[in-house]
Amino acid sequence: MRWINGGTIPACPCGGPSEDQVRWSSGADRVEWFCLICELFRMPPDWVDELVPISDAELKSRNAAMARRVRERWLRRG
Protein backbone atom coordinates (compact mmCIF):
# COMPACT_ATOMS: atom_id res chain seq x y z
CA MET A 1 0.00 0.00 0.00
CA ARG A 2 1.25 3.46 -0.91
CA TRP A 3 -0.06 6.98 -0.40
CA ILE A 4 -0.66 9.48 -3.20
CA ASN A 5 -2.23 12.92 -3.51
CA GLY A 6 -5.96 12.36 -3.85
CA GLY A 7 -7.16 15.71 -5.13
CA THR A 8 -7.99 16.13 -8.81
CA ILE A 9 -6.28 18.99 -10.61
CA PRO A 10 -8.69 20.78 -12.95
CA ALA A 11 -7.97 21.15 -16.66
CA CYS A 12 -5.53 23.89 -17.65
CA PRO A 13 -6.78 27.09 -19.31
CA CYS A 14 -4.67 26.06 -22.35
CA GLY A 15 -7.03 23.10 -22.86
CA GLY A 16 -4.76 20.43 -21.36
CA PRO A 17 -6.99 17.81 -19.66
CA SER A 18 -6.86 16.94 -15.96
CA GLU A 19 -4.78 13.83 -16.57
CA ASP A 20 -2.00 16.01 -18.04
CA GLN A 21 -1.71 18.16 -14.91
CA VAL A 22 0.81 17.24 -12.21
CA ARG A 23 1.74 18.56 -8.79
CA TRP A 24 5.13 20.20 -8.43
CA SER A 25 6.61 20.94 -5.03
CA SER A 26 8.47 24.21 -5.05
CA GLY A 27 9.85 23.80 -1.56
CA ALA A 28 8.57 23.61 2.01
CA ASP A 29 4.78 23.43 2.00
CA ARG A 30 4.28 25.17 -1.35
CA VAL A 31 2.85 23.16 -4.24
CA GLU A 32 2.13 24.33 -7.77
CA TRP A 33 0.34 22.69 -10.67
CA PHE A 34 2.33 22.02 -13.83
CA CYS A 35 0.70 21.45 -17.23
CA LEU A 36 2.45 18.85 -19.40
CA ILE A 37 0.86 20.40 -22.53
CA CYS A 38 1.74 24.12 -22.29
CA GLU A 39 4.54 23.52 -19.74
CA LEU A 40 3.47 26.35 -17.44
CA PHE A 41 3.12 26.45 -13.66
CA ARG A 42 0.04 27.79 -11.90
CA MET A 43 -0.89 28.17 -8.27
CA PRO A 44 -3.79 26.14 -6.86
CA PRO A 45 -6.52 28.43 -5.45
CA ASP A 46 -7.54 27.38 -1.89
CA TRP A 47 -7.06 23.69 -2.58
CA VAL A 48 -6.79 20.86 -0.05
CA ASP A 49 -4.33 18.23 -1.24
CA GLU A 50 -5.12 15.19 0.88
CA LEU A 51 -3.23 11.90 0.79
CA VAL A 52 -5.15 8.73 -0.03
CA PRO A 53 -4.07 5.07 0.06
CA ILE A 54 -3.56 3.24 -3.24
CA SER A 55 -2.66 -0.38 -3.92
CA ASP A 56 0.44 -1.28 -5.91
CA ALA A 57 -1.76 -2.82 -8.63
CA GLU A 58 -3.85 0.37 -9.00
CA LEU A 59 -0.73 2.55 -9.11
CA LYS A 60 0.78 0.30 -11.78
CA SER A 61 -2.46 0.53 -13.79
CA ARG A 62 -2.51 4.35 -13.55
CA ASN A 63 1.13 4.57 -14.63
CA ALA A 64 0.51 2.26 -17.60
CA ALA A 65 -2.49 4.36 -18.70
CA MET A 66 -0.44 7.57 -18.56
CA ALA A 67 2.44 5.95 -20.47
CA ARG A 68 -0.03 4.79 -23.13
CA ARG A 69 -1.51 8.32 -23.51
CA VAL A 70 1.97 9.86 -23.81
CA ARG A 71 3.09 7.25 -26.35
CA GLU A 72 -0.06 7.82 -28.48
CA ARG A 73 0.45 11.58 -28.36
CA TRP A 74 4.09 11.27 -29.52
CA LEU A 75 3.12 8.90 -32.33
CA ARG A 76 0.48 11.38 -33.57
CA ARG A 77 3.06 14.17 -33.68
CA GLY A 78 5.09 11.96 -36.01
Structural domain boundaries in the chain: 2-77
Q: What is the mean pLDDT of the chain?
A: 83
- pLDDT of residue 56 exceeding 90, the answer is yes
Burial class (CB in 10 A: 0-12, 13-18, 19+), 9: buried
| pLDDT over 70 (residue 48) | no
Residue 69 makes CB contacts below 8 A (sequence gap 6+) with 19, 20
Predicted TM-score (pTM) of the model is 0.58
Task: Summarize pLDDT for 6-24 with one digit per residue, the tens.
Answer: 777 888 999 888 888 888 8
Phi, psi for residue 9 in degrees, rounded to 5: -85, 130
